[in-house]
Amino acid sequence: MTTAGSREINVTPLIDVLLVLLIIFLVMMPIMLRSETVELPPRSVDVSEAVSVSLKLEADLSAALDDGPVFPNHELATRLRAKLPNVKAVFIDVVDGVPWSQVVSTVDTIRGVGNGLNRTDLTVAVRLRGE
């Protein structure tokens, strides 16, 4: 008496499905990774001619210019208009807990104020703290 089928499980379709999924994940990985380009100021800038402003972003979304008084982040554009005409670089110190979207928004605000003042040579750099 012979049986018509074998009692072993055919794993070939399972392996085919796993290989297709692996190829899909390998193709999708570079698409899912996003990056933000950050321009750092050059190291060869003369210290006597370079004037910079330090902006500190706190976890409660408040900000402080050059270790001055803390103010709400929505006042940043008005406070920067007075300081940016003489500044070559703005350093953003980010403490741990600030959302990255807020950091990008702050960089955009600084660049927008600089563009409004016709400052094309303004450099914005982000320094992360707490890492």
Give the predicted TM-score (pTM) of the model. Answer: 0.58
User: Which residue in 42, 55, 67, 41 sits closest to 92, CA to CA?
Assistant: 55
Q: Coil, strand or helix: which one is 122?
A: coil
Residue 7's CB: how many other CB atoms inside 10 A? 5
- 35-79 pLDDT, tens digit per residue, is 777 777 777 655 445 588 888 888 888 888 888 888 888 888 888
Which domains can be identified in the chain, with CATH numbers?
A: 52-128 (3.30.420)
First to last CA, the chain: 72
